[in-house]
Chains A and B, each alone.
Chain A
Amino acid sequence: MLESDVYSALTEILRDLFMNDDLIVTPDLSANRVHGWDSFKQIEIILATEERFGVKFTTQEVESLKCVGDLSALILKHTV
């Protein structure tokens, strides 16, 4: 899977969850930069991502995520 595919899927997921079609998804995007990205939203994002890519993250992996770049790298690691 290409990194660009991951980003276009994540863009779709995040725009959908935040109901904001203008959201630009970049590797350094993180919770403190998006209004409404709270712990509950974080869970929704993880679930939607797992479902979209057919993967399951461990608690350790989820805990270590700091930004969208981390999430993208994690997806690529799981979908080799």
Chain B
Amino acid sequence: MGNWQELTDPASALYGFAPDAVLFCFDARHLTRGMNAALSVAEADRQHDAAREEVLACWRLAKERFRCAVLHQTAMQLLPAVMGNNEHRLAGSPRHALRALNAELRAAADAEGVDILALDERAAQEGYAAWHDPALWMRSKQEITPLAAPVYGDLVVRLLASRQGLSRKCLVLDLDNTIWGGVVGDDGMEGLILGQGNALGEGFAAVQSYAKELSRRGVILAVCSKNDEANAWEPFDRHPEMILQRSDVACFMANWRDKAANLRDIAADLNIGLDSLVFLDDNPAEREAVRRELPMVAVPEPPEDPALVPYCLADAGYFEGVALTDEDRGRTREYQSNRARAELAASSTDMVGYWRSLEMQMLWRPFDRIGLQRVVQLINKTNQFNLTTKRYSEDEVLAVMADPSAFGLQLRLLDKFGDNGTIAIVIGKMQQDEVFLGTWLMSCRVLGRQVEAATLKLVVENARRMGARRLIGEYRLSSKNGMVKNHYEKLGFTTLSVSETGDSKAMLELHEYEPRDVYMEINEG
């Protein structure tokens, strides 16, 4: 450590590369250089602080110079113990220093907006022998043995993918012999193997517990089972050992159709892509059929013993997440409110009557520190209703906040069924006498609620306040955002240009803008 030329020298290859993300991999031996068992507590503390500060300095340098995502790999605990079990009592122990540094850097990472690659935990789980070969370190200075490289690559990529909003969003569960033992239609609810007092039953309960934990942090749960619907619900309502409840399931498909068709309906019902689904089923024939029909759905090969299934799901990293927002915590409830709304829509004879009956309120605010995490999350995970799919790091969002010629709007929608949370984001930038809309995105949960028209109202107000004469909206075609191809035209914009690749620009003269009726209150807050 000590020489950070790549980070500081504008002529370095790293500058030329202009990275989107920088991953810091400090190896255990360099990180603990200067530590030794003879050090006093004060000397050890000093060494220790210096190592930590050097890492922090690197993070900050990378953030400042590249405005990019910074990732930090925790150090593997691979140095031999000098004391033994109570190593922590030896202030200068390099092994103890690694543990303490990892803990401190985890805490610091949250404060600095850095994401952690938990190499220490992964290696500990699989055993250090599988990750590090001391002889190979002497020979080649490769800390991670090449035999572990494929798994290591997967860990890095899943973290990067998560930052891009590419993690899976929904776990779809089969029922019979997947979340309980036995077949409810044949064995009856009383015949199911589930819960305490039976090792196999505890295994199935563990599967349910893990699914419940996932849902508590924002993964959507759905059910896809070949069953009569009433039979399939019965354990949820009446079996005393069930951990999953009716209210944990956002979409329930129990019928006799083929599973691929049901998975398509689940994705459509939840307004997410099929590539956001993970399908857990004990039946190899069903798994094979789904893989063939829907290759974009992740279908793990679950171990036969249910006790091992939670580890299989966790190790695959399908649901890798980097931040947790209030929206994540309330997600299942939200989808259920959506169902209630859909039922209301189906029973309403006219749309205006439906919109009125929802008692909607839109709350808007400029970007601010409080909403920062959710704004970054929404920008980076919204794929469908996203006009340009331009991604922003936290620092880039902060730059929008600091730019007097730009505005960023975060919109929240409430209705009588609940709070949908922050559901739309627009970023505009004044250029001469026009406001250029480089980002406009919305959560698909609130499609068909007039949020687009209400958002435009706010955009126009902001643009007028800045003295603009017109709005320019940009659309950049991606593999997922075909649904908003004519978004601006639908709102009354005139097409300016369409490129060969399907990208387009549209314009709205502000003096020609006529607000549409929207059936919601719009307030700042």
Contacts and interface: CB of A to CB of B under 8 A. Distances in A.
Contacts of B136: 43, 47
Contacts of A40: 140
A20 B127 CA distance: 36
A40 B140 CA distance: 8
Chain A interface size, under 10 / 10 to 19 / 20 to 34 / 35 or more: under 10
A67 B147 CA distance: 24
A42 B135 CA distance: 14
A47 B147 contact: yes
Contacts of A39: 140
B135 A59 contact: yes
B140 A59 contact: no
B140 A43 contact: yes
Interface string A3-22: 00000000000000000000
A73 interface: no
A31 B283 CA distance: 53
A47 B148 CA distance: 12
Interface in A1-53: 39-40, 43-44, 47, 51
Nearest to A46: B139
Interface in A52-80: 58-59, 62
B146 interface: yes
Nearest to A57: B135
Contacts of B138: 59
Majority DSSP secondary structure for residues of B touching A: helix
A60 B26 CA distance: 28
A62 B139 CA distance: 9
Contacts of A58: 135
A51 B147 contact: yes
Contacts of A51: 147
A54 to B, nearest CB: 13
A41 to B, nearest CB: 11
Nearest to A59: B135
A51 B135 CA distance: 15
A43 B139 contact: yes
Interface in B123-148: 135-136, 138-140, 142, 146-147
A59 B139 contact: yes
A43 B140 CA distance: 7
A62 B133 CA distance: 14
A47 B146 contact: yes
A59 B138 CA distance: 8
B141 to A, nearest CB: 10
Nearest to B140: A43
A50 B135 CA distance: 13
A24 to B, nearest CB: 27
Nearest to A62: B139
A21 B146 CA distance: 24
Interface of A: 39-40, 43-44, 47, 51, 58-59, 62
Given A44-B146, A59-B135, 4 more contacts: A39-B140, A43-B139, A43-B146, A47-B146
18 contacts: A39-B140, A40-B140, A43-B136, A43-B139, A43-B140, A43-B142, A43-B146, A44-B146, A47-B136, A47-B146, A47-B147, A51-B147, A58-B135, A59-B135, A59-B138, A59-B139, A62-B135, A62-B139
